[in-house]
Structure formats: C-alpha cells, structure tokens
Amino acid sequence: MVPHLVTALTGPINELEQRILDSMPAIERWFRLEWMEHTPPFYTSVDLRNAGFKLAPVDTNLFPGGFNNLTNEMMPLAAQAAMAAVEKICPEAKNLLLIPENHTRNVFYLQNVLCLMRIFRSAGLNVRLGSLDENIKEPTTLTLPTGETLTLEPLERSQRRLGLKNFDPCTIVLNNDLSAGIPAVLENLHEQFLLPPLHAGWAIRRKHNHFRAYEEVAKKFSKLLGIDPWLINPLYSYCGEVDFQAEEGLECLRSNVDMLLSKIRRKYKEYGIQEKPFVVVKADAGTYGMGIMTVRDVRELDSLNRRTRNKMSTIKDGQTVSEVLIQEGVLTYEQVNEAVAEPVVYMIDRYVVGGFYRVHSSRGTDENLNAPGAGFVPLAFAESPHLPQPGMKPGASSPNRFYMYGVIGRLAMLAASYELEATDPEAEVY
C-alpha cells in the first residue's frame, strides 16, 4: 500500500525518487563509508513529511516508543539489527536491562515495551525491566488488555554498576527520554554500556543541534545526487530565551519567524509552488507532540491567546519551555483512508527495521499529527525496504517509495550520530 499523494505537484518527488533509485549503489556505498567513521544511535525513529515537492524529516527521536506499531513481519529484521548493535559493544552480552518511561498506565506504550523485550529476547538476551519510578519498591506486575504481563523491578545501584536483584546486565537500554532530568542512579556507570548515552536525553539534547547536523548531512548527500539540499532539508532557526507566559523574548521569535517565512517564499517562487508558506514553532527539547504551534503569518504572534501561551509554556513532565526551534513547515499530502498521514521510519543500529503512517482524521496538511486522536497504520512492506524494484515507475511500487523514506530516515539517523558526537561531554577536544 502506497497512500494516495493528493497533489498535482508530484513531479519533483517522483524525480527525487527516480534519482535515489538510479543512485542506489552509490547511496549504499556512501552510507557504508559514513558508518565507518561514525557510530549510529542505538535506535531511532524519524517523522517524515512528503509535500509532493519536498520530502524532509521534521523530528528525530532517539528513544522511540512505537515499536508495537510495526508489522510482525519486521520483527526478525529488528532482532537481527538489535543483535548487531549489542554485539559491537558487548559481544559476550547475556543480560540486558531495559529502563522504560514511568507512565505505566499508557497501554500503547506498555505494548511498545513488550515488543522491545521480544526483540531483545529474539536477539539471544535475558531481558528484565528496571524502573526509575521511586514508587516501585518491589517487583510490580502490570497486565495488558491482551492478558500479557510486564514486571517492573526497582533498580539496585552499587558504586560502579546498575542492575536488579540477582541480575547484573552488561548492557542497559534506556527507553526513557530523561525529559525530567538525569537521575543520579544513571550517572558514573563506568563498567556498563548505557544506550543511548545520557546526553541523548532531553535533559541535555536540543533539536537545533540536530538540525544543524542534518543540514551538514543533507548538503553532503545532495552533492552526491546532484540535487538542491532544500528538497530534503527543512530550513530552521532558533531562539534561546523565550517566556510565553510573561510574553518575554517574543521579539526574537517574531524576527526569526519573519526571516524564515521570507526564505521559504523565495524557495516557493523558485520552484513555482503556489502553497502558502508556514513555520512550526516547537520546544527545542521534548517530545510527544507537546509545545508545538503552526504560524502562517508573523502577525499571529502579536495576539497569542492564553490557551496557546499555556500550551507553549510547558511540555512533558512539567518542564518549562524557554528555548524554541522555528522550523520550516513541510506540508503532508499523503492520505490513508482520506485522513492526513505522515510516514515514520524506525531503525535499530544502522538498519531500517520498519515503520508506520501516523494518521489523523481531524488535522490538516499543515498541522502537527502527533496529537491526541492520531492512529497508526503499519507501512505495508511487501518486501524488504532494502530491495527496491528498479525499472518501476516512481510512486507505483511500495518498496520504491519506502526505500526513499528509508534513505531520508537514515540521513536523519546519521545526523543524530554527528549531533551526539558534537555534544558528547566526554569527547576529547583538540
């Protein structure tokens, strides 16, 4: 299934898809050389937007929480990728500790945790769940609607190691994005591998650093393909001292929104695009689609109502927003069952392992779809995303379309690798 692309402006995307398909050997060699120099994040999910004239990542998550939305057919590939990731750092690994988010009532999230445990067990690892929730004092069993269970256990910390009672792991995998800060129990673990590293969490990570790295990656890749980097790269800007409640720092926001809208208008004029440009203002740290608003005209910022200011002021775990990313808005013209949709690509290590469409029937083509009411439709990979079908017309074959998505997703993952290297507090500075 390739969802209907509801736009007449399919020329550039079909041209980009054809260019990517024709360049597949060169692209795969390019990625191979990049991964010789850089370490991929342990796992990654990337939200893409396909405007028909542009395909770009708009968010890159280093603690993906939707593995339950992948198809069962993708599980062997995921297990193989997880095995490759763990073998690189701890070849003799036997025990793996998975640390999930604290919100234990979210059934969909718990299904994601269950799916991750299956993947790691299929990779030949003993897996147990350790909780950062201080209310978990003893093993606590949670029952899912399917009748399956998960057991959360309290963490036990020694001077140099972290584990559970009678369980000493070689590897610790975080599925908690550390929005609320870095717990002391995770610090100074010198004898175990913590994946992703602490500086990948939202307590430290910032989106503008990621998109700065992505801009560099997009330029390199576009030079390889001979295309305009803008076709795969969302323009962005950044404001570092904003207080929506006190209405302070908004002048920085206004000037950057105005500047970005002007840049987008020039690009639209260059490509003959008739759409109305817009930008997305989002918290520079954090996820779950919180702290996001769409701005189509800079004058909209002169009269933000209280509801919008409240929405933009705090994000997950009650964290206050003071830094914002201003990002070029990329329309999504894909539809599933007449509802607006956007593809999300999932990767473990350097491998694409699947994905899904995030679908929202009450949102528009220029709105954030990661919001209450969203549904998920698995990407129907009829065959492996690594096996496109040369000679097929662009857009006619799901492996071809999904291969293109996998390429752009991997570019964002490579950018995350650049980003983590540049922001590593333990990296040597020359």
Per-domain boundaries in the chain: 1-62+206-234+342-424, 67-200, 237-329
At how many degrees (to 10) do helices 75-89 and 107-122 cross?
A: 70
Task: Examine the pLDDT at 267 and tell me if it is beyond 90.
Answer: yes
Range 62-87 average pLDDT: 91
Alpha helices in 234-343, H assignment, sequence order: 250-271, 306-313
Radius of gyration of the chain (CA): 21
- Which residue would you say has higher pLDDT here, 361 or 395? 361
Task: Examine the pLDDT at 227 and tell me if it is beyond 90.
Answer: yes
Instruction: Measure the CA–CA gap between 286 and 390, rounded to whole angstroms.
Output: 39
State the pLDDT at residue 318: 65
At how many degrees (to 10) do helices 24-37 and 11-22 cross?
A: 70
Where residue 97 falls among pLDDT bands split at 50, 70, 90? very high
Where residue 37 falls among pLDDT bands split at 50, 70, 90? very high
Range 231-235 average pLDDT: 97
Instruction: Measure the CA–CA gap between 93 and 334, rounded to whole angstroms.
Output: 42
State the pLDDT at residue 312: 75
Q: What is the pLDDT of residues 378-428, one digit of tens each?
A: 875 444 545 566 555 555 446 677 889 999 999 999 999 999 999 998 875
Read off φ and ψ for residue 95, nearest 5 degrees.
-110, 135
Q: What pairing do the DSSP bridges indicate for beta strands 351-360 and 375-378?
A: antiparallel
Residue matched to tokens 């269950």 = 114
From residue 120, give the alpha-carbon distance in Å to each of 4, 102, 115, 117, 149. Answer: 35, 20, 9, 5, 16
State the pLDDT at residue 95: 95
Where residue 7 falls among pLDDT bands split at 50, 70, 90? very low
Among the listed residues 309, 313, 308, 319, the one whose alpha carbon sits nearest the alpha carbon of residue 286: 319
Range 321-337 average pLDDT: 87
Give all strands (DSSP E) within 158-278, no chain letters. 162-163, 171-175, 193-195, 236-239
Task: Examine the pLDDT at 14 and tell me if it is beyond 70.
Answer: yes
Range 47-67 average pLDDT: 94
Element (H, E) at 359: strand 351-360
Read off φ and ψ for residue 173, nearest 5 degrees.
-105, 125
Q: Which residues partner with 101 through β-bridges?
A: none
CATH entry, 67-200, from 3.30.300.30, 3.40.50.11280, 3.40.50.2300, 3.40.710.10: 3.40.50.11280
Where residue 310 falls among pLDDT bands split at 50, 70, 90? confident
Longest dimension (CA), the chain: 65
Q: Which residues partner with 98 through β-bridges?
A: 129, 173
Range 323-328 average pLDDT: 92
Torsion from C-alpha of 13, 14, 18, 21, nearest 10 degrees: 70
Task: Give me the amino acid identity at 179.
Answer: S
Mean pLDDT over each residue of the chain, to the nearest integer: 87
State the pLDDT at residue 256: 92
Where residue 137 falls among pLDDT bands split at 50, 70, 90? very high
Instruction: Measure the CA–CA gap between 268 and 249, rounded to whole angstroms.
Output: 29
Range 270-276 average pLDDT: 92
CA 263 from centre of chain: 25
State the pLDDT at residue 315: 63
Q: What is the pLDDT of residues 152-168, one digit of tens each?
A: 999 999 988 999 999 99
Task: Examine the pLDDT at 241 and tell me if it is beyond 90.
Answer: no
Torsion from C-alpha of 272, 274, 276, 278, nearest 10 degrees: -30
Task: Examine the pLDDT at 228 and tell me if it is beyond 80.
Answer: yes
Percent of the chain having pLDDT more than 90? 57
What burial letters (b/e) apply to 7-42, b meaning 16+ CB within 10 Å?
bebbebbeebbebbbebeeebeebbeebbeebebbb
Task: Examine the pLDDT at 372 and tell me if it is beyond 90.
Answer: no
Among the listed residues 339, 369, 354, the one whose alpha carbon sits nearest the alpha carbon of residue 409: 354
3-state secondary structure of 334: strand
Contacts of 36 (CB under 8 A, 6+ apart): none
State the pLDDT at residue 88: 87
Among 14-28, 214-228, 302-316, 359-373, the least confident range:
302-316
Q: What is the pLDDT of residues 175-207, one digit of tens each?
A: 999 988 999 999 998 889 999 999 999 999 999
State the pLDDT at residue 389: 61
Give all strands (DSSP E) within 74-200, no chain letters. 95-100, 126-131, 140-143, 149-154, 156-157, 162-163, 171-175, 193-195
Q: What is the pLDDT of residues 107-120, one digit of tens each?
A: 999 999 999 999 99
3-state secondary structure of 178: coil
Contacts of 52 (CB under 8 A, 6+ apart): 5, 7, 8, 9, 10, 12, 13, 331, 333
- Which residue would you say has higher pLDDT here, 403 or 245? 403
- Which residue would you say has higher pLDDT here, 286 or 16? 16
State the pLDDT at residue 380: 56
- The answer to whether the Cα torsion of 181, 187, 193, 198 is positive or negative is positive
